[in-house]
Structure 1
Amino acid sequence: MLRGLLSFRDRYRILNYAWVAFFLTFVVWFNYAPFVTVIREELHLTIAQSRTISLCNLALTIPARIIIGTILDRLGPRVTFSAILIYAALPCWAFAGAQNFSQLVLSRLAMGIVGAGFVVGVRLVGDWFESDDIGLAQGIYGGWGNFGSFASQAFLPIVALANAGFENWRLAIALSGLISLGFGVLFYLNVQNTPPGKRYQRSDRGGMEVTSRASFWVLTLTNLPLFLVLGSIAWRLQLVNFLTPHTMYQIWLFLVGLFFLQTYHTFEINREVILGQTIYPAKDRYQIGQLFILELAYAVSFGSELAVVSMLPEYFEETFNLGRQIASLVAATYPLMNLVARPAGGLISDKSGSRKWALTLTIGGVGLSYLMMSKINPSMGLPWAILLTMFCAFFVFAGAGATFGIAPLIERRVTGQIAGNISAYGSVGSVLYAMTYSLLPQTVAGNNAFFQIIGVTGMVVACLCALLLKEPKVAKGDAESVTISR
């Protein structure tokens, strides 16, 4: 695989374009994290306002990943990913020019849409690679792409320092947007949706397809938390006086209406299946309940990653009394593990003989390692804290890699929507964790409680994987079509 990547030919050329595109979306998505404290001081923000901005950075990613998944299945990765990369420049420049809390919030809300870019590459890589090595390919795509959060924390402060000091965060953030725009054009000119001779399988229905009546009701229930989390974000914005109570209630009412509208739309798309007029043969069915287990696994792996990456620079700065630049570099050791851990998770999924148990064990490792991180304190010493952080990061990223060692194999025709739903739960997890963190005491004990909460939820999801997840099996006569065994 590595030799192929270095050749920049055929499917490996596409994989390289995919991970670089995802890498840049992560650079711009998390270009706020290294500058949290300096922005707070320059614009005279409270700690609550600062943490709310981090929360807003994740908010619109939830609906965006589902919407982008639907658009992707209709338009293809080439157009969709190019549009996201070009669009990313706008919220970058808006944030770089922000002069008050409201402008910061609005630009980070707009930036959340960029976080949906991951979904596009899942479909693109899935169409260019076969089922026997798709786990490793998805791991390289996700891991090397997620490495963008490391680049934000490690290199953007250097760009700021090289241009009149660390306080020049505005230039660093604006420059990241310009680079994203340029690569968006390059991506459009050089990427194809599928290999030569292979037809791009489109979903013309414009919504999530189910294969049984029971799956429709499970899908409806699993969509509910997405709207509840969006409602909780509105509540959090009201607490910091960005929204009035009246506006918050209007948003809640809108979300209720949107939930029922989406449910009705899904019903119309699948009316014949729900009413029993169409019955899928067993070989063509996939279970939405199994998709929900993958969603939970991604919520505690990728979801915790997003929440922890956002708070780690400030956490190390305050826990070990570090300077801002040093704290950013130390915190970057967490996303640094993406480079090897997420591909390792995909490789383990491919080669272990059981994708189910590969996922179960890595998610169990997520829970255990976060519980270990809750024991970090100033007396432990910084080197041990860094090693423990990297140990935890390995399981977090490997768990995400193992999740997408299964996800593209469920139903090829709606891979974009499946990836969108799983990814949306990653954002749900990140928002819930980030919101929990914002409500905890701003002390060492509060930080430890935060890691304990993630650890416990990780152990619970690992148990659900062990008890309820079914092993995916390749369908006969089609090496690329995979169903979840009943």
Structure 2
Amino acid sequence: MEEETQPPKFAFPVDSEHKATEFRIFSVAAPHMRAFHLSWISFLACFVSSFAAPPLLPIIRDNLNLTSTDIGNAGIASVSGAVFARVAMGSACDMFGPRLASASLILLTAPAVFFTSIVSSPTSFLLVRFFTGFSLATFVSTQFWMSSMFSAPVVGSANGFSGGWGNLGGGATQLIMPLVFALIRDVGAVKFTAWRIAFFIPALFQILSAFAVLIFGQDMPDGNFYGLKKSGEKAKDKFSWVFYYGITNYRGWILALTYGYCFGVELTIDNIIAEYFYDRFNLKLHTAGLIAASFGLANLFSRPAGGYISDAMARRFGMRGRLWALWVVQMIGGVLCVLLGRVSSLSSSIVVMVAFSLFVQAACGLTFGVVPFVSRRSLGVVSGMTGGGGNVGAVITQLIFFRGSRYSKETGITLMGVMIICCTLPLCFIYFPQWGGMFCGPSTKTHATEEEYYMSEWKSNEKEKGFHLPSLKFAENSVSERGRKEDSVDKASPAHV
């Protein structure tokens, strides 16, 4: 085998694609674990920037004379910008690699964070939140990067931890921004100046993270996209075909819908929860921020737990286990969201919110335990579609339930829970011929193998040139998605290449 003729070049055991087959969270070994830490830190920086405004809204709205409609529109703007940015980011990752795509977007959106300090009207406030929100598309590069570095048995955990720890920014900013604001005010600045100066902190953090990705990151286990294409080790794929095979795979669309009502709901809560507790229970700004922070900070372990559960279920039940775990966890999250809008006391609201955060964030991790297997050739496009679906869900939810005064926030939260339940049902329709779906086992046809599924994305002339070889290796390494069932031996495994 190839690995026997080459000296060891990685700190971890790897598969035939040189993806790590182990995930050691406290390691910083290059390139696998270094990519992990760079990805979640840079994504966290973008999350901090994108949601730096909500914890200071009671101050900002007084300074800019914002109405509830203005605040709702700005919240929608903050997540709508990333809808198309995430789809574009997926394509950029497929063509240029996650390192360059991620760092470029972070640097392009950093000026919007700086400009927040000089906004003077509701319109300018909306615009800076809109352009800052583009940075949330770095989530796609984060998941693409992890799927490029880690093998099938641990990819759910890698995606869960990187996405979850990045999402910590939504909770961390609820603590950081009120603290920074208070420190600047205590130094001597008036409050309407202090909140403006505070935005320099997330902007600087964002810029530093981008340079770290550029300097220390690596796209793939064997090198960067540019070098691999130049040396001929990676085929120069056609964007049109990459895009086509991504958007024509119905599984990606279903995952985009369901992700809209786990991650989309998380984004919505990040925008409204501090103001909700501040207004409904007459709390101090700092207290409301602490409570709101607990929702986002649950990502420290909730989303990673989702990724881990996905991998654990796959080891026993294969892809069907991943799908069932996602369906059950997201359904429970929907029920808890309905309950959150119905409880009326402060203590019960906090308890239900924490429980809700655990399930809705775990569902996010479970979703990206499935995404890497939808397509090998169009991984970035499918990741972008799914990630963009999260932002679409947030936009629609905020537009319907949290814009203006049509619904009270508690009623909006309840109705949002109903939407979660309804939009989780389509997961039942995801079916992989080689692995099955929630209610049906794998196809009995002899050609329903991993090799057949992933080779269908390549044309005969492309196969003649060897462009399909990475997909063939991926098919071999995805055999683990059959689970421990005896019928896995009935199908011939793809030949090692």
Fold match by TM threshold 0.5: yes
2:65 maps to which of 39, 44, 50: 44
Partner of 1:403: 367
Q: How far did residue 15 of structure 1 move? A: 0.5
- Map 1:91-102 to 2 at 5 A: 91-102=112-123
2:335 maps to which of 359, 364, 368: 368
Amino acid at match of 1:191: G
For residues 295 and 153 of structure 1, what CA distance do their matches in structure 2 show?
Answer: 27
Partner of 1:82: 103
Single out whichever of 138-147 and 172-181 deviates more from structure 2: 172-181
Identity of aligned residues (%): 25
CA offsets, 1:42-65, max 9 Å, x none?
111212112211111112111111
Q: How far did residue 363 of structure 1 move? A: 1.3
1:288 maps to which of 249, 260, 270: 249
Amino acid at match of 1:16: H
1:191 maps to which of 217, 226, 231: 217
> Following superposition, which runs of at least 4 residues in structure 1 exceed 6 angstroms of deviation?
none
Amino acid at match of 1:5: I
- Map 1:412-427 to 2 at 5 A: 412-427=376-391
1:169 maps to which of 190, 195, 204: 195
1:351 maps to which of 305, 312, 315: 312
Partner-residue secondary structure (3-state), 2:212: helix
Confirm or deny: 8 A CA contact 1:194 1:200 kept in the other structure: no
Q: How many residues align?
A: 406
Confirm or deny: 8 A CA contact 2:116 2:128 kept in the other structure: yes
CA offsets, 1:115-147, max 9 Å, x none?
111111111111100011100000001100000
- Map 1:427-466 to 2 at 5 A: 427-439=391-403, 441=405, 446-465=408-427
Gaps of 5+ in 1: 220-286
2:474 maps to which of 460, 474, 480: 480
For residues 475 and 293 of structure 1, what CA distance do their matches in structure 2 show?
Answer: 21
For residues 355 and 2 of structure 1, what CA distance do their matches in structure 2 show?
Answer: 19
For residues 473 and 326 of structure 2, what CA distance do their matches in structure 1 show?
Answer: 22
Partner of 1:232: none
Partner of 2:176: 155
Of structures 1 and 2, the larger Rg is shown by 2
Partner of 1:341: 302
For residues 412 and 28 of structure 1, what CA distance do their matches in structure 2 show?
Answer: 32
Q: How far did residue 413 of structure 1 move? A: 2.1
Partner of 2:205: 179
Q: How far did residue 359 of structure 1 move? A: 1.0
Partner-residue secondary structure (3-state), 1:195: coil
For residues 13 and 208 of structure 1, what CA distance do their matches in structure 2 show?
Answer: 28
Partner of 1:250: none
CA offsets, 1:26-77, max 9 Å, x none?
1111111111111000111212112211111112111111112212211111
Partner of 1:205: 239
CA offsets, 1:248-294, max 9 Å, x none?
xxxxxxxxxxxxxxxxxxxxxxxxxxxxxxxxxxxxxxx72222221
- Map 1:72-151 to 2 at 5 A: 72-151=93-172
Partner-residue secondary structure (3-state), 2:185: coil
Question: Does 2:24 match 1:4?
Answer: yes
Go from structure 1 to structure 2 and tell me whether the alpha carbon gap of 1:439 and 1:13 turns closer, same or farther (over 3 Å shift): closer
For residues 68 and 420 of structure 2, what CA distance do their matches in structure 1 show?
Answer: 28
C-alpha RMSD of the superposition: 2.4
For residues 274 and 168 of structure 2, what CA distance do their matches in structure 1 show?
Answer: 16
Gaps of 5+ in 2: 1-20, 436-448, 452-470, 483-497
Q: How far did residue 210 of structure 1 move? A: 4.0
Go from structure 1 to structure 2 and tell me whether the alpha carbon gap of 1:163 and 1:62 turns closer, same or farther (over 3 Å shift): same
Q: How far did residue 470 of structure 1 move? A: 2.2
For residues 439 and 120 of structure 1, what CA distance do their matches in structure 2 show?
Answer: 30
